[in-house]
Structure 1
Amino acid sequence: MSNDHFRIDMHSHYYGGGLREVIAARDKRPFLREAEDGSLNMIAMNGAFPFTADYYDHRVGLAQMKAQGLTHRMLTFPGALGVDLLPAEEIATAIYAFNDHLADLGTKTDGALIGLAGVPLADMDLACAEVIRIRRDLGLIGIILPSNYFNTLGDMEEMRPLLEAANTYGCHIMLHPGLKVGEEPPARPSDHMQYRLSALDLQNSAAQVALTVILSDMLDAYPRVTFQVVNLGGTLPFIFERLESIARHRNADAPFPTERLRRIWYDCASLGPRALEAAVKLFGADRIMLGSDYPIFKDDPYAHALAPAELSPQDIQQIAWKTAHDLVTHLETLRQNK
């Protein structure tokens, strides 16, 4: 099969590798609860959702990929669940086993499943050691981190040791919505919680994270780290001109560094063709990747978002597979040339 038939999904989540059993044994969030009909619900930080086999059985995911024409998919540790925030003595061993499992899945599927690891964030020394291990020994491409560590420049400072470790062998970092260790979930809105939290607040959060990345020294201080901001950078494709106007009128000697946004990678998870068109004009197709947010969302990202977009055939192929392929190739080169 030629590369032009590749379709690489760079945003999905996976709760297998022993995590389901760990969560099932818990009685505090996150935990599993059996409904009256025998089905399972995951009781997570911001509510509950049906916990089906899509979440923890990679074979179900592979079948879904085949049905949609997806050839590769990045499976990430379920960062938003908050498991990686638990005390290290409680969760570190399970995280290590999960990461081993991800590496094994990559081997068994001949690279069709690409692993993005978790780290035990409650113990920074262990987290740093694990990011070294997953790159040096397991060959996983990187890690997922809760984006609340990157809401502000001050928050980001807590991650300096981990970023330094990640820079050693080169590392991809997905900055995904999630809490910090010890942080309580935000107050729930009084109405329409799913729309307000999972759409409006989430998209603003993604934009805040991208802002921290480009206004800090992260891109220059850690040149062997690649950063992925989810959901096309949130609201950025629609408000960057206002950011530029603010700088032009209030801080004329320091223009807003819009060009630095092109040093981050983005996925189009759970978004559609109109948002994708706007993002391509701002970031360029060579910074954007397919993303499904499977199993939370089950739309085919190619058919739902990319195919209907008014983009050139070259841009469509770039987003469908080439951006992700080039990124993974770059990361392997960094790993081999430590």
Structure 2
Amino acid sequence: MSEENQRIDMHSHYYGGGLVDALRARQKRPYLRIRDDGAEMMVAMNGEFPFTEHYHDYMVGLADMKATGLTHRMLTFPGALGVDLLPVDEIATAIYDYNDFLAQLTKDTEGALIGLAGLPLADMDLACAEVRRIRRDLGLPGVILPSDYFNTLADMEEMRPLLKAANDYGCHIMLHPGLKVGEEPPARPTDNMQYRLSAVDLQSGASQVALTVILSDMLDAFPNITFQIVNLGGTLPFILERIESIARHRNPDEPFPTGRLRRLWYDCASLGPRALETAVKVLGADRIMLGSDYPIFKDDPYAHAVVPADLSEDEKAQVIWKTAQDLFALLEDKRQAALR
């Protein structure tokens, strides 16, 4: 297959790899239950949803990819579910098995499916050891971390030991909406919950995370880590000019470090052509990647977001495959340098 025919989905989730059995055995959130009509339901932190085969059968996912023309997909541990926050004696073995499964799945599918691992975050020493293992021994590109650890500079400090470990072999980190260990879900809105939580709050949260990373020392302290901010960086592309104005008028001696936004990577999951156009202008196509958020969303990101966008063919190619391919090549270079 020529490079020009590649379509690389860099934001999807996978609940299989042994997690299903662990979740069926639980009685507290998160867990799986059978509804009276026989449907299996995932009881998550903020409600429940039908747990269809799209969530845990990778063959169904591969069929979806074929139908939409995707050639590669990055699966991630279901970070928003909160499984990685559970006590290690309940979940660590299941997480290790899941990561092993992802590594084998990459081999079995000849690289069509690539995985971001989960970590047992309730024990920082174990989490650090596992992030080294998944890069050194399993060769997975990286991990997914709950973004609530990156809401503020103080929150981010809790992750410093893990970031030090991730830096050892080069590591990709997707910062995805999710709680910290011991953190309770926020109070639900009293109305229009889906829109307020899953759109307005989520997008604002992604912006907070990006701000934390670029306004900290983390990019310089851990140069072998690549950070992925989901959903085009939230609202950032649309409010950046206001942020820069605030800096000009209130902190004239400290201009906002806009250029540091281009040291992060972004995906366009669950967004459309108008948002993508703006993000490309602000962040650059060479920092933006295709994303579906499958199986939560099932739109074809290529047809839905890229094809209708007013972008050049070169910019579309960057988003569709080249940014992701360049990122994977960079990560592998960092890993091989550490192994030598």
**Interval containing the TM-score (normalised by the shorter chain):** over 0.9
CA separation in 2, counterparts of 1:218 and 1:282? 22
What residue identity is the alignment partner of 1:186?
P
State which drifts further: 37-46 or 161-170.
Answer: 37-46
Aligned to 2:4: 4
Distance 1:199 1:324 in 2: 25
Report what 2:305 is aligned to.
305
Segments ≥4 residues shifted beyond 2 Å? none
Give the partner amino acid of 2:97: A
**1:209-257 per-position Cα deviation (integer Å, ceiling 9, x unaligned):** 0000100001100000000000000000100011001110000000011
User: What count of residue pairs does the alignment treat as equivalent?
Assistant: 338
Deviation at 1:36, TM superposition (A): 2.0
Corresponding residue for residue 319 of structure 1? 319
Counterpart Cα distance in 1 of 2:53 and 2:257: 44
Aligned to 1:110: 110
The DSSP-based 3-state class of the residue aligned with 1:138 is coil
Aligned-residue RMSD, C-alpha: 0.4
1:30 is matched with which residue? 30
Aligned to 2:204: 204
Matched, 1:143 2:153: no
Matched position secondary structure for 1:194: helix
Q: Which residue of 1 aligns with 2:21?
A: 21
Secondary structure, counterpart of 1:304 in structure 2? helix
Name the CA distance, whole Å, in 2 between partners of 1:279 and 1:105: 32
Paired amino acid for 2:47? G
Matched, 1:166 2:166: yes
TM-fit CA distance, 1:32: 1.0
Aligned counterparts of 2:298 and 2:290: Cα–Cα separation in 1: 13
- Aligned counterpart, 2:244: 244
- Which amino acid in 2 is paired with 1:337? A
CA distance in 2, matches of 1:145, 1:276: 24
Give the whole-Å Cα distance in 2 for the aligned partners of 1:238 and 1:249: 19
- Taking the aligned partners of 1:57 and 1:236, their CA distance within structure 2 comes to 35
Percent identity over the alignment is: 76
2:46 is matched with which residue? 46
Deviates more, 1:171-180 or 1:40-49: 40-49
What residue identity is the alignment partner of 1:322?
K
Hey, what does 2:218 align to over in structure 1? 218
Question: CA shift at 1:105, angstroms?
Answer: 0.3
Deviation at 1:329, TM superposition (A): 0.8
Q: Distance in 2 between matches of 1:256 and 1:336?
A: 35
Q: 1: CA distance between counterparts of 2:36 and 2:257?
A: 54
Match of 1:101 in 2: 101
In the alignment, which residue of structure 1 is the partner of 2:192? 192
1:261-305 Cα deviation digits (max 9, x unpaired) = 000000000000000000000110000000000000000000000
1:196 and 1:28 mapped to 2: Cα distance? 26
Structure 2 Cα separation of the partners of residues 95 and 128 of structure 1: 14
Q: Which residue of 2 aligns with 1:133?
A: 133
Counterpart of 2:137 in 1: which secondary structure? helix
CA distance in structure 1 between the aligned counterparts of 2:318 and 2:238, rounded to whole angstroms: 22
Aligned counterparts of 1:278 and 1:261: Cα–Cα separation in 2: 14
SS of residue in 2 equivalent to 1:29: coil
Relative to structure 2, which stretch is displaced further, 11-20 or 26-35? 26-35
Aligned-partner residue type, residue 172 of structure 2: H
**C-alpha deviation, 1:39, in angstroms:** 1.0
Distance 1:294 1:144 in 2: 15
Q: In the TM superposition, what is the alpha-carbon distance from 1:34 to its structure 2 partner?
A: 1.0
Whole-angstrom distance in 1 between the partners of 2:162 and 2:105:
25
Cα displacement (A) at 1:61: 0.1
Please, which runs of 5 or more residues in structure 1 have no aligned partner? none
Report the counterpart of residue 90 of structure 1 in structure 2: 90
Q: TM-score, normalised by structure 1?
A: 1.00
Report the Cα distance in structure 2 between the residues aligned to 1:289 and 1:104, rounded to whole angstroms: 24
Report the Cα distance in structure 1 between the residues aligned to 2:37 and 2:276, rounded to whole angstroms: 40
For residues 52-83 of structure 1, give each alpha carbon's deviation from its aligned partner in whole angstroms, at most 9, with x where no partner exists.
00000000000000000000000000000000
Deviations 1:155-193 (A, max 9, x none): 000000000000000000000000000000000000111
Aligned to 1:289: 289
Could you tell me how far apart the structure 2 residues matched to 1:311 and 1:49 are?
36
User: Tell me, which stretches of 5 or more residues in structure 2 are unaligned?
Assistant: none
Secondary structure at the aligned position of 1:337 is classed as helix
Query: Over residues 7-55 of structure 1, what are the superposed CA-to-partner deviations in whole Å (9 max), with x where a residue is unaligned?
Result: 0000000000010110111111001121122111111001111100000
* Structure 2 residue aligned with 1:273: 273
Query: 2-side partners of 1:306 and 1:42: how far apart?
Result: 32
Counterparts of 1:76-87 in structure 2, within 5 Å, are: 76-87=76-87
